[in-house]
Amino acid sequence: MSNEAATYERTARTLLESLPYMRRFSGEIVVIKYGGHAMVDETLKQSFARNVALLKYVGVRPIIVHGGGPQIGDMLSRLDIPSSFHKGLRITDDATMEVVEMVLAGRVNKEIVGLLNLAGARAVGLSGKDGRLLEARKKVPDADGSAGGTGAEAGVDLGRVGQIVRVDTELLRTLSGAGYIPVIAPTGVDEENGTYNINADDAAAAVAAAVGAKRLLLLTDVPGVLGKDGVLLRSLSAREIPGLIADAVISGGMIPKVDCCLEALRGGVEKAMIVDGRVENCVLLELFTDAGIGSEITADTGSGAA
């Protein structure tokens, strides 16, 4: 067989492999947290937009929640506003919040919308303020310094860092049902119309649970969850996670990402995936191939990447 014929055969096999997954996800909502290197590399940005457009063409209903930490940091630096962090969260005073909202809901959100529209999709940009989409309250660290608590024992004021208390799904379902792709900047709003900076992973998990998504994909700058031997763990059940954290297999910045996945699963999402966003066409490879490329987390011991 010639090299050209072999290439055609591989392409045909890949298309045939993807067919059952296209059928399975047709009509289903998939929430994708878009962030990391995939948002700054031009080739990866174009790849992501085409991937999402293709999802829409085959009947999937994608919802995008995006980050923008590097872009926020760059703008703060230009404006000579210092940045400080606690447990990976940007401490957000009023001046910083103005920049966060401007960058996330403005420049970054509209760039993503533009790329998706250029790829042939119909995307609409939203922030948490639109229709009170993401209602939030102030996030206060627990005594151990973690940022999910309700007590001030740790003595750290995160400023306008928020925690989602409600997702209004009506707007998302209306847009998605009409053929649009919602693109959400993770800023929230409280009862007094105050604005909050929301961690994008947390926002994606909350949105996925609220809309009853079939899948949650978190795009990261690592291959996924790695075992002690450095080999990718392709499939994990929720009940395995505490032991892996205790054994320091899951550690550092991977812990909050896994926690977001577990939160989505508790909210009814079937599977959550941690996917290497540095891989071109990572969304299609994760959803539409037998093996996938990242780590999936399920509520039980099921296997398989789709």
Provide the whole-model pTM: 0.91
Q: In what order do the strands lie in the sheet with 187-189?
A: 162-167, 134-138, 187-189, 195-197
CA–chain centroid gap for 33, Å, is: 2
| DSSP-derived secondary structure for 34-93 | E-GGGGT-HHHHHHHHHHHHHHHHTT-EEEEEE--HHHHHHHHHHTT----EETTEEPB-
Tell me the residue type at 259.
D
Domains of the chain: 26-298 (3.40.1160.10)
Strand runs labelled E in the chain:
29-34, 61-66, 85-86, 89-90, 123-127, 134-138, 162-167, 181-185, 187-189, 195-197, 215-220, 235-237, 271-276, 295-298
Q: For residues 79 and 255, give the distance between their C-alpha atoms in angstroms, rounded to a whole number.
A: 32
What are the C-alpha distances in Å from 101 to residues 63, 106, 122, 243?
Answer: 20, 7, 23, 38
For the chain, count helices (H), then strands (E).
10, 14
Strand-pair partners of 182: 124
Tell me the residue type at 269.
V
Q: What is the pLDDT of residues 202-215, one digit of tens each?
A: 999 999 999 999 99
Residue 154 has a pLDDT of 54
Tell me the pairing of strands 29-34 and 215-220.
parallel
Strand-pair partners of 34: 66
Half-sphere exposure of 265 (CA within 13 A, CB side): 19
What are the C-alpha distances in Å from 229 to residues 152, 225, 233, 273?
Answer: 39, 11, 10, 20
Phi/psi at 269 (5° precision): -65, 135
Signed CA dihedral, 123, 124, 126, 130: sign only: negative
Closest CA to 96 of 112, 117, 80: 80
Those residues of the chain that have pLDDT short of 70 are: 1-8, 142-155, 300-306
